[in-house]
Amino acid sequence: MTEHQDETRRAYDGVVALYASLFSDQLETRPFSRAMIGTFAELVRATGNPRAADVGCGPGHLTALLDEHGLDTLGLDLSPGMIAHARRAHPTSRFHEARMESLPFEDSALGGVLAHYSMIHTPPEELPRLLTEQARVLASGGLLLVSCFGTDGPDTVRFDHKVAPAYSWPADRLAELLSDAGLIPFARLLHDPASERGFLDTHVLARRS
CA 92 vs CA 53, 79, 109, 156: distances in Å: 15, 20, 22, 38
16-74 pLDDT per residue, tens: 676 667 666 677 778 899 999 999 999 999 999 999 999 999 999 999 999 999 999 99
Q: Which residues on neighbouring strands pair with residue 18, listed in sequence order? A: none
pLDDT at site 2 = 62
37 touches 145 (CB < 8 A) = yes
Over residues 102-137, the pLDDT tens digits come to 999 999 999 999 999 999 999 999 999 999 999 999
Q: Where are the domains of the chain?
A: 2-208
Q: What is the dihedral of CA 62, 66, 68, 71, to 10 degrees?
A: -160
Q: Model-level pTM?
A: 0.92
Condensed to tens digits (0 to 9), the pLDDT of residues 157-184 reads: 998 877 678 999 999 999 999 999 999 9
Look at the alpha carbons of 129, 132, 136, 142 in this order and tell me if their dihedral is positive or negative: positive
Q: Check residue 54 and give its pLDDT.
A: 98
* Top-confidence range, 85-99, 180-194, 195-209: 85-99
Residue 147 has pLDDT above 80, yes or no: yes
Residue 42: closest CA among 67, 75, 74, 69: 69
pLDDT of residue 155: 92
Sequence-distant (6+) residues with CB within 8 A of 20 are 58, 59, 85, 89
CATH number assigned to the domain with residue range 2-208, chosen from the 4 options 1.10.3860.10, 3.40.1020.10, 3.40.50.150, 3.90.1150.10: 3.40.50.150
